[in-house]
Amino acid sequence: MTSSTPRSDVISSTARRRAIVAGSVGNFIEWYEFGIYGFLATILAAQFFSDGQQTGIESLIATYASFAIAFFFRPVGAALFGRIGDRIGRKPTLILVLVMMSGATALIGILPTYASIGIAAPILLTIVRILQGLSAGGEFGGAVSVMTEFAPAGKRGFYGSWQSFTVALGLLGGAGTVALLSSLLSEADLAAWGWRIAFLLAIPLGAVALFLRLKLEETPEFQKVAAADTTKVAEPVVRAGAAETAKAILLGIGRLMGWSAAGYTFLVVMPSYLQSSLNASFQEALISTVLANAGFAATILPAGWLSDKIGRRWVMLTGTGLIVILALPLLNVLQNPDLGVGVHGLAVFVAGAVVGLIAGPGPAMLAEMFPTSVRYTGLGLSYSISNAVFSGSAGLIITSLIASTGDVDVPAYYVMATCLVSAIAIGTLRGNAHRAELRK
């Protein structure tokens, strides 16, 4: 009899549900904030990065540069909080990063703008974004560790997919908030002060999330390792083997890069792209983003569930392959004004849906790559480095290349190239990896 059988008997269904909810809620706030920053990028560019001398595209590039900086601090946060989480536990570390993340998001809502304090405004915003990047870097590894370590046998893909699902919910929540504000307020009021409301909502969201995480139990996998040998838990990287861990992290980055690039290109960068390159209105761009995120949300949980049945490899390869094939045709559909709103809506929905095929099995796939003693750290570094390079830089790369080349097909080329590399890395997955127990 495997050790998974008694573990299923000991862990209550209530504890499992709490693991999903408490793991997901911080992730929701993280992606809500990154979503509203992306959706409000053109407004933030004018408020924080423009002295009236730059063009709109120059201010937008500066805004995305600040966006990218936060992502590049994620690996630092992943290493810092991952080590803490692998040493003292998942629960206390996730509580700490939640407080930091919610506080930093709310702080953006009260920052003075360029018109008030000049060059200090973008500097302060960038510092707050760095704090967000540090805390967000510690979120993914802990949340996925909690979900997969509490998962019953044969359901890690489904449990882990809730992490990705709350990415979609967070982005949809951000889009919905911005859409509501833009419908209730005039364009001038939204640009002047209404955007602050979206960030200040992090205060009540963070309070609810904190309550849920305080009720979370420590994961059974961590408790077993801690009870067996506390000295080894105190030095997790040494225990697992630094070289082996580094190799797994690099492979994880390769498997995730297509998800990172396509996810942010289709789900977050698209509003500003539609406005700056295709002359869409703010409302049209926002509706397109909502539809893309709805498509993303629709496939995540089914993809995670399916990966428990047939394996992570084939589900994720299907997603990366479809993106390589469909990215350019879908973008060309959006570029054609004669096709109508319905066809455009279907195109962005499909774009989001194919990303969900990668995102559903992705968290469980990563969790299965690392032993318990370095899982928090390994998960966090793989995800955060991939996001720093291929998500955080997506807006900056795409906007800059379009500005310099005039080629509006750049977003498609970007996601096609990254998904092709990811498909090669995903192809190295063992077909039965999803059936094995988590590494101890």
Q: Does residue 416 lie in a domain region? A: yes
Q: Does residue 3 lie in a domain region? A: no
Residue 57: per-residue pLDDT = 63
Reply yes or no on whether the pLDDT at 347 is more than 60.
yes
pLDDT tens column, 228-261: 765 444 455 445 578 888 999 999 999 999 999 9
Residue 285: per-residue pLDDT = 73
Q: Does residue 4 lie in a domain region? A: no
Q: Does residue 251 lie in a domain region? A: yes
Task: Copy the structure tokens of residue 162.
Answer: 């809730």
Amino acid found at 405 = T
Distance CA 67, CA 40 (A): 12
Quick one: angle between helices 312-335 and 282-310, nearest 10? 160
If pLDDT is split at 50, 70 and 90, which confidence band does 2 have? very low
Q: Does residue 409 lie in a domain region? A: yes
CATH number of the domain within which 366 lies: 1.20.1250.20
Which of 211-215, 235-239, 323-327 comes out lowest in average pLDDT? Answer: 235-239
| pLDDT (average), residues 134-152 | 91
pLDDT tens column, 178-199: 889 988 999 899 989 999 999 9
Residue 338: per-residue pLDDT = 78
Closest CA to 187 of 270, 275, 106, 63: 275
- Hunting for tokens 């047939």 — which residue is that? 310
If pLDDT is split at 50, 70 and 90, which confidence band does 276 have? low
Residue 411's domain spans which residues? 12-216+232-435
Residue 98: per-residue pLDDT = 94
Q: Does residue 440 lie in a domain region? A: no
pLDDT tens column, 296-312: 999 999 999 999 999 99
Work out the percent of the chain whose per-residue pLDDT is above 90. Answer: 47
Total count of domains within the chain: 1
Alpha helix ranges (H) inside 336-390: 340-359, 362-367, 375-390
Which of 90-94, 317-321, 331-335, 376-380 comes out lowest in average pLDDT? Answer: 331-335
Closest CA to 38 of 56, 59, 63: 63
Q: Does residue 222 lie in a domain region? A: no
| pLDDT (average), residues 317-326 | 95
* Number of neighbouring beta carbons within 10 Å of residue 394: 29
Q: Does residue 391 lie in a domain region? A: yes
Please tell me which residue, 171 or 7, carries the higher pLDDT value. 171
Residue 335: per-residue pLDDT = 80
